[in-house]
Structures are given as structure tokens and as C-alpha cells.
């Protein structure tokens, strides 16, 4: 049996205005279906504690659920629990029209933190990152430079970024360059 | 630069977060149609100087298709609306009329 590794095996950059690191393996499940379905709501509550409102993320310890689109959630669980969680979902949603797919190894997860984290993100995404506009609990899918990404704030000045694994190195380089020393903009 | 609001997920984003999908409200003539109708569906497009209706996809976001009404001259966006419709809803038409009295586009006005 081989051992699962994340795309960049925990690479980090901390010589700039914000620290960037790859967060390693995280279990991720794409759940598509009718988000108003009672069975589905119950199943998601069992994992993330609650069902996230549109454009928000619901986090509970290491687990969470993020609102991806009107018919899609991204469920986050520890990497080792993915298969059992999917089995639970399949059992509890039997008979409803849904899809639960393991996308853990198709994703890379990064954290950008430090007092200038907002600036680093604002350099790369066409999104308003001012403290009045982008707040804790919000979840946004957009692009960072040339690749699609989703992000939210774990705490003030700490962003989690999720992207496709195939562009993990690009994403890491991108965030590191946007965070390089002396590149403060002080615009936010 | 257009600023569009996706009616599916509610995100207000700029143009590069979306992808244009051509003219909206086309009738997809296929089996049983005449050659003229099929030609119309395949090739005949509006190219207006002013009010226009387009399909857009929120490809760096929720991934859903929607419709947008905008002005090709000023890039003003009159509104966006659900793609599951045969014609623009009344509030979109009213919004256009407020800004461009007497507008018309194909069969709509």
C-alpha cells in the first residue's frame, strides 16, 4: 500500500510580508444535490454541525462544509475519514438524487497568514478584500491570477485557499511572489 | 470592464470571473425545421449598437449559466437574470426602458 502525500508536501514560504504554507492532506468531498432536501441537511449537519448559508463556510474543528453553488457543497473531513464519511453519506441519502465524490487527492490547500495576508490575496483575485467587504465566515470562489480557487478566512489575517492539485506549484509560487519582502501596498 | 452579478450564487464579480456564451434567447431549431430556420439558428446573430442580451457563465465561481442585458456601446449592465426563461423578465425590460426609452431587440421591446 502506498502512502498518500500532498502536492507540495507542506512547502512553506516565510521570508516576506505574509507567510504561505501548504496545509497538507485534507479530506474533501464534493456533495451535489438538492440543498433543501431534509435528508441531505441532516447528513451535512452530522458532519459540519450546520448547513452553510449561500457564500459562506461552516466550520467545526477539523470538519467543515462550504457553499460552492446552489446545488453543491464541499465537505471537509480529516483525510483518513473520507471513505467512511462517503459510506455514511451514501447510506443516509439512499433514495435521493445526489452525488458524493471523493476529491481529496484532486485538491491542494494553502494558508496565507500575517498582517498583510489581505493584501497578498488582493493582488491576485478580482475580489474586494477590504475588512468591510470580506469578513470571517465568508466563502468565495473566484480566480487567483490564472487559476480557479476558493478561499475563506480561518481567523482575521489568515486565509485558507483551495485549488486544483495540478496547479499547486503555480499557486504556491504565485502566493510567495505576491508576499515577497518589501511588496506592501498598504491600500486596504 | 463589465461588473456582473450572478443571479445563481449572488456574487458580484468583474468580467474575468465570467465567460461570455454568445447571444441569448436563441430558438434551437433542429429536427423538423426548415433549412431557413436552421440557418437562422446557426448563423444569424444580432450585432446591435446598444441594448443586447447575452448568455454568460460564472466559470470561476458557481459554474452556472445566466443571462445578462447590457449596452454594447457604454458597457452598462442593465441586469442579470435566470437562464431558464424564454424572454427577459419584466423588471429587466423596465430597467432598460428607464435608461434607453424606445429600445428594441429582436421581438422584445
**pLDDT for A39-85, tens place per residue?**
999 999 999 999 999 999 999 887 899 999 999 999 999 999 999 99
Q: Write down the architecture of domain A27-105 according to CATH.
A: 2-Layer Sandwich (3.30)
Q: What is the dihedral of CA A12, A14, A17, A22, to 10 degrees?
A: 10
Q: Mean pLDDT throughout B10-38? A: 94
Sign (positive or negative) of CA dihedral B63, B64, B70, B72: positive
With a cut of 50, list the residues of chain A below it in pLDDT. none
Q: Mean pLDDT throughout B104-109? A: 93
Q: Mean pLDDT throughout B21-27? A: 95
| From the candidate CATH numbers 3.30.1360.120, 3.40.50.720, 3.40.50.620, 3.30.70.20, the one assigned to the domain spanning A12-18+106-178 | 3.30.1360.120
Domain spanning B3-99, CATH class = alpha beta
A interface mutation test: which of B13, B57, B83 has the most A CBs within 10 A? B13
For residue A107, give the 3-state DSSP assignment. Answer: strand
List A residues 102-131 in contact with B (Cβ-Cβ < 8 A).
126-127
- For B30-69, what is each residue's pLDDT tens digit? 999 999 999 999 999 999 999 999 999 999 999 999 999 9
Cite the residue boundaries of each domain of chain A with CATH code 3.30.1360.120.
Answer: 12-18+106-178
The DSSP call for residue A105 is G
Distance CA A19, CA A158 (A): 9
- Which whole-number Å values give the CA distances from B63 to A37, A46, A69, B7, B60, in the listed order? 21, 27, 8, 12, 7
- CB-based contact A142 B14, cutoff 8 Å: no
ipTM of the complex: 0.87
Q: What is the pLDDT of residue A1?
A: 63
- The residues, any chain, with a CB within 8 Å of residue A169's CB and separated by 6 or more, are A7, A8
Distance CA A151, CA A144 (A): 10
- The residues, any chain, with a CB within 8 Å of residue A23's CB and separated by 6 or more, are A6, A10, A109, A110, A111, A160
Q: What is the dihedral of CA A130, B62, A143, B81, to 10 degrees?
A: -70
Strand partners, A96: none
Q: What is the pLDDT of residue A106?
A: 96
Q: How far is B4 from chain A (nearest CA, A)?
A: 12
Distance CA A167, CA A146 (A): 10
- CB-based contact A69 B13, cutoff 8 Å: no
Amino acid at each position: 500500500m502506498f502512502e498518500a502525500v500532498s502536492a507540495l508536501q507542506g512547502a512553506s514560504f516565510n521570508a516576506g510580508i505574509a507567510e504561505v504554507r501548504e496545509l497538507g492532506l485534507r479530506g474533501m468531498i464534493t456533495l451535489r444535490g438538492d440543498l433543501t432536501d431534509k435528508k441531505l441537511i441532516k447528513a451535512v449537519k452530522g458532519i459540519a454541525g450546520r448547513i452553510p448559508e449561500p457564500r459562506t463556510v461552516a466550520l467545526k474543528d477539523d470538519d467543515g462544509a462550504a457553499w460552492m453553488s446552489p446545488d453543491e457543497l464541499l465537505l471537509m473531513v480529516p483525510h483518513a475519514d473520507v471513505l467512511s464519511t462517503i459510506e455514511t453519506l451514501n447510506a443516509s441519502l439512499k433514495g435521493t438524487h445526489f452525488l458524493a465524490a471523493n476529491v481529496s487527492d484532486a485538491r491542494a490547500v494553502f494558508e496565507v497568514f500575517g498582517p498583510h495576508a489581505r493584501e497578498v490575496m488582493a493582488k491576485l483575485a478580482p475580489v474586494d478584500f477590504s475588512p468591510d467587504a470580506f469578513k470571517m465566515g465568508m466563502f468565495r470562489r473566484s480566480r487567483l491570477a490564472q487559476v480557479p480557487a476558493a478561499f475563506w478566512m480561518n481567523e482575521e489575517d489568515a486565509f485558507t485557499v483551495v485549488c486544483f492539485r495540478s496547479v499547486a506549484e503555480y499557486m504556491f509560487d504565485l502566493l510567495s511572489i505576491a508576499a515577497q519582502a518589501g511588496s506592501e501596498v498598504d491600500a486596504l | 470592464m463589465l461588473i456582473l452579478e450572478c443571479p445563481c450564487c449572488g456574487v458580484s464579480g468583474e468580467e474575468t470571473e465570467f465567460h461570455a456564451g454568445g447571444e441569448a434567447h436563441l430558438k434551437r431549431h433542429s429536427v423538423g425545421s426548415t433549412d431557413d430556420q436552421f440557418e437562422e439558428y446557426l448563423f444569424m446573430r444580432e450585432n446591435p449598437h446598444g441594448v443586447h442580451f447575452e448568455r454568460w457563465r460564472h466559470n470561476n465561481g458557481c459554474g452556472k449559466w445566466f443571462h445578462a442585458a447590457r449596452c454594447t456601446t457604454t458597457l452598462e449592465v442593465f441586469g442579470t437574470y435566470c437562464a431558464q426563461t424564454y424572454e427577459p423578465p419584466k423588471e429587466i425590460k423596465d430597467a432598460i426602458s428607464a435608461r434607453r426609452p424606445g429600445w428594441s431587440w429582436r421581438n422584445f421591446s
